[in-house]
Structure 1
Amino acid sequence: MSEWRFIVLAATVLATPLAAAEPRLEKLWQTEATLKVPESVLYDAARKVLYVSNIDGTQPWENDGVGSIGRLDLDGNIIEVDWVDGLNGPKGMALAGDRLYVTDNDAVVTIDIEKGAIIDRLPVPDAGNINDISLGEDGVLYVTDSKKGLVHELADGEFTTLVDGLTALNGVLYSDGELFFVADGGLHLVGDDGAYTTLASGIEGRVDGVERIDADSWLVSCWKGPVFHVTRDGEVTLLDDESGTIVAADMGYDPVNRIAFFPGFWENTVAAYRLVID
């Protein structure tokens, strides 16, 4: 090969942009299978623990009084399976100071974290299946009713419906002044007037949990197992690894270390994965 042809080829190779690496999940640990149908995980950075909602039993929406909240350390060791008991079908959780808020089929339950005890139970009017919850500004809570397809705002003990007419509604997330929910295979953003915009669609596997990675990207977990990386411009990437072999349900997330915590539901486990974005 002549010298000039070598130089041209080398220059062409150097000028060709490298393909961007796909985001991926790397497994860190998995608990023993001693939890009780875990549906949701919540990360508590201040206390360095994970809260896990245990539905317990085969009827997730039955008011049977056997549900509980468990606690794990950040290495996947189970501190207590039944830290707080006396719940029905606990699912989504939100944290505000020393209060843990839990959706419990038809009510929002308040737990005093220092006491490890239920201190309030607020029924949701005309509840269907109250599922997820997220903390907004000034103590406002956002709650989803999956059966009726509603997103509620809870402020000063009163519920106000913000969005209705949804199908396959599950997770809700308030983050950096924006309110999101996952429903009907998509990630949606709620506007000031209650109307919503679909940011991404085509997320398969029964959307469940949603957590924010940065200003323009999110993780979405699905009850049937798959986990997706979703961007504001509508790009949906399947994170295809072991997370797709178990029920992912409503994940927790450590945004500093980019670690997601997936409840295994029928497997009675929680697994931790690090999100890697090269």
Structure 2
Amino acid sequence: MIKTLYSLTCLFLLSSSYLLAQPTLKKLWQTDHLDVPESVLIGQDQRTLYVSLIGPGDHTIADGNGAIAQIDRQGKIINKDWITGLNAPKGLGEYEDKLYVADLKELVIIDIPNKKIIEKITVPEVGMLNDVTVDPAGDVLISDSKGGKIYRYKQGKVEVFLPNLVNPNGLLAVGNGLYFLDSGSLFYLDKNKIATKIATGMEKSTDGLQKDGDNFLVSAWIGVLYYINKDGKVTTLLDSRAEKMNTADFSFDPESRLLYLPTFFKNQVIAYQVQ
């Protein structure tokens, strides 16, 4: 009897510990209207949030309606038109005072201190550039969702880095490796370009990707936010499909445990506490 009670107690403690390891979301604030926010990036100054705005119109057409906005960490809009004249900007990455933007078929480079575009690099034969990440060496990786590739911008040149994918989107460079999302699955690519599948079974529109220690946060544009344990177990943190709220390319601060979520057609950025 004592042995049985001990076993049950251990099982309860293990189960409780496992349940506590699965975080929950608490909504903190939402911004005023922003024109189709697609991606949020926490600036390296840790005070500013950069938000890519696709703007009114067709988000697949080069129409000049896109912009980059700045908001603060409390959700106050600092400048909706910090950078204008873009087309349908999506993923963002920052390195040494430069902001890199995936803008349909161009990689746009912005001088942050001087608030101006310094270069637009057209990527030949591209389908649609989507997410951006910058590795520790300053190489910029850009996903091409419609073209099924990942490109690399290095020393002033753009080249195919990883071909033959299905619908790559979210990218996260860590050390010498790269985590990436492709059509409902999460992969890790090592320095020898050997890909290992970490998790699968998510909605095909997987979009944003962030790490939480050894675990991961993943969004699917259709309206789902997932938490993935390091063993590949996928749980749902948020499902907003019924209310037609998209969950696009979010940003996450592991220290404050704040998650900043762009809602695309709902025209707001929402902040959540990950508890």
TM-score for both structures, normalised by structure 1? 0.90
Tell me the equivalent position of 2:12.
Answer: 17
Give CA deviations for 1:4-58 in whole Å, capped at 9, x if unaligned. Answer: x8x78875664443222222111111111x2011100001141501000000123
Aligned to 1:72: 71
Secondary structure of the residue aligned to 2:137 is: helix
Q: Is the 8 A contact 2:37 2:53 kept in 1?
A: yes
Aligned to 2:55: 56
Amino acid at match of 1:28: L
**1:169-248 equivalent positions in 2, closer than 5 A:** 169-204=168-203, 206-214=205-213, 216-240=214-238, 245=243, 246-248=245-247
User: For the residues of structure 2 that align with 1:55 and 1:250, how far apart are their CA atoms?
Assistant: 13
Q: Which SS does the other structure have where 2:114 is aligned?
A: coil
**Cα gap change, 1:133/1:67 in structure 2, threshold over 3 Å: closer, same or farther?**
same
Instruction: Give the corresponding residue for 1:100.
Output: 99
> Matched residue pairs, number?
269
Q: Answer with 228-237 or 180-189: which moved more.
A: 228-237
3-state SS of paired residue (1:171): strand
Q: Hey, what's the Cα distance between the residues in 2 that align with 1:173 and 1:270?
A: 21
Report the identity percentage. 36
Q: Which amino acid aligns with 1:165?
A: N
Confirm or deny: 8 A CA contact 1:229 1:236 kept in the other structure. yes
Residue 17 of structure 1 aligns to a residue in which SS?
Answer: helix
| Alpha carbons of structure 1 residues 97 and 91: separation in structure 2 relative to 1, 3 Å | same
Structure 1: unaligned runs, 5 residues or longer:
none
- For 1:181 and 1:124, locate their aligned partners in 2 and report how far apart those are by CA, in whole Å: 20
SS class of match (1:166): coil
**SS in structure 2 of the partner of residue 39 of structure 1:** strand
Q: C-alpha offsets along residues 129-152 of structure 1, whole Å, 9 cap, x if unaligned?
A: 011110012210111111110011
Q: CA deviation at 1:62?
A: 0.8
Which residue of the partner structure matches residue 113 of structure 2? 114
Amino acid aligned to 1:70? A
From the superposition, tell whether residues 24 and 207 of structure 1 become closer, same or farther in structure 2 (CA, over 3 Å).
same
In our comparison, the structure showing a higher alpha carbon Rg is 1
Asked if the contact 2:64–2:86 (Cα under 8 Å) also holds between the matched residues in 1, the reply is: yes
Which 5+ residue runs of structure 2 have no aligned equivalent? none
Summarize the Cα distance change of 1:31–1:218 in structure 2 as closer, same or farther, 3 Å threshold: same
Q: Once the 2 structures are TM-superposed, how far is the Cα of residue 230 of structure 1 from its aligned partner?
A: 1.1
The CA RMSD measured in Å over matched residues stands at: 2.0
Q: Distance in 1 between matches of 2:150 and 2:185?
A: 15
The DSSP-based 3-state class of the residue aligned with 1:109 is strand
Q: Which residue of 1 aligns with 2:41?
A: 42
TM-score by length of 2: 0.91
CA contact (8 A) 1:175 1:212 kept: no
Q: Which residue of 2 aligns with 1:152?
A: 151
Structure-2 change in CA distance of 1:186 and 1:35 (3 Å): same
Pairwise CA distance, 1:125? 2.1
Give the whole-Å Cα distance in 2 for the aligned partners of 1:256 and 1:46: 14
Give the distance between the partners of 2:240 and 2:265, measured in 1 at CA: 16
Give the Cα separation in 2 of the matches to 1:188 and 1:156. 26
1:51 maps to a residue whose letter is: Y
